[in-house]
Amino acid sequence: MMGKRKTQNRKSILREYVESFAIALVLALIVKCSVVEAYKIPSSSMEDTLLVGDFLLANKFIYGSKVPLIPAHLPALAEPKPGDIVIFKYPLNPKVNYIKRCVATEGQIVEIKNKVLYVDGKKVSDPANGKYTDPRVRDGNRDNYGPYRVPKGYIFMMGDNRDNSSDSRFWGPLDRSLVLGKAMIIHWSWKPDPNSPGFVWYNPISILEWTGYNIIHFPWRVRWNRVGDIIR
């Protein structure tokens, strides 16, 4: 009898662990898919608002996030509006995530004259930390665009690094259904280092070299002044 009780107790404890792990996994999946998700900035298109190596958290709930495991979305609490920094699926390759600033929504008229953005005929101020890297005014959509009315169900996106951004000027307005979330906060910022050695997972020496280099240079690679910044 005692042996059976011990076996039952072990099974009960094991089941509790399995159930706890399963619940934690489901909750983590719900949070990731529906509430908050982490992203890394891979390019310079949003400089100097966001820098290469910034790690940020996005609010997926606000725009109506996807419900895990079923083809449904939660109701949106708000719609993307001009000024919001939005994470979305790249229209030409939905497997890739992009991040840009919304500058206009459906029904609004976008026009760019010699690099200056106008929405509904009114000049729009440049983002506080945006920039231009090319003083020349070139032919084409980069520096002169429109006028163009944003269709229903779409928004118009632009990078803060106006001369170095692949955005709605080139691939058109963004379908609202591709929106994933709103950028909230920088939780980590890691300065790229071209001198950092690379590594391959099957080469222990390269892994040790990479680890040692980054431990030594850790204090200088972290952009401490950016950690915790609210994204605007």
Q: From CA 21, how far away is CA 121, in angstroms rounded? A: 56
**What's the Cα-to-Cα distance from 186 to each of 28, 37, 45, 56, 206, rounded to whole Å?**
20, 12, 16, 4, 30
DSSP assignment of 105-146: ETT-EEEEETTEEEETTEE-PPPTT-B-S--S--SSTTTSEE
In the block, tokens 């163009």 appear at 148
Question: Which residue numbers are catalytic?
Answer: 45, 100
3-state secondary structure of 155: strand
25: pLDDT strictly greater than 90? no
pLDDT band at 31 (very low <50, low <70, confident <90, very high): very low
User: How far does CA 196 lie from the centroid of its chain?
Assistant: 25
Are 158 and 116 contacting, i.e. CB atoms less than 8 angstroms apart?
no
pLDDT of 29 reads: 46
In the block, tokens 């662990």 appear at 17
12's enclosing H/E stretch is: helix 2-30
Q: From CA 232, how far away is CA 219, in angstroms rounded? A: 26
pLDDT for 53-102, tens place per residue? Answer: 999 999 988 998 776 666 767 788 899 999 999 999 999 999 999 999 99
Q: Which two tokens stand for residue 110?
A: 């976008």
Question: Where is pLDDT greater, at 25 or 119?
Answer: 119
**What's the Cα-to-Cα distance from 64 to each of 39, 70, 72, 79, 136, rounded to whole Å?**
18, 14, 10, 9, 41
pLDDT for 172-216, tens place per residue? Answer: 999 999 999 999 999 999 999 888 888 787 888 888 988 999 899
Q: Which domains does the chain carry? A: 36-190 (2.10.109.10)
pLDDT for 103-151, tens place per residue? Answer: 999 999 999 999 999 999 999 999 999 999 999 999 999 999 999 999 9
| Mean pLDDT across 19-45 | 63
pLDDT band at 18 (very low <50, low <70, confident <90, very high): low
Neighbouring residues of 232: CB distance < 8 A, sequence distance ≥ 6: 49, 85, 128
Q: Is the peptide bond before 143 cis (omega within 30 degrees of 0)?
A: no
3-state secondary structure of 31: helix
24: pLDDT strictly greater than 70? no
28: pLDDT strictly greater than 70? no
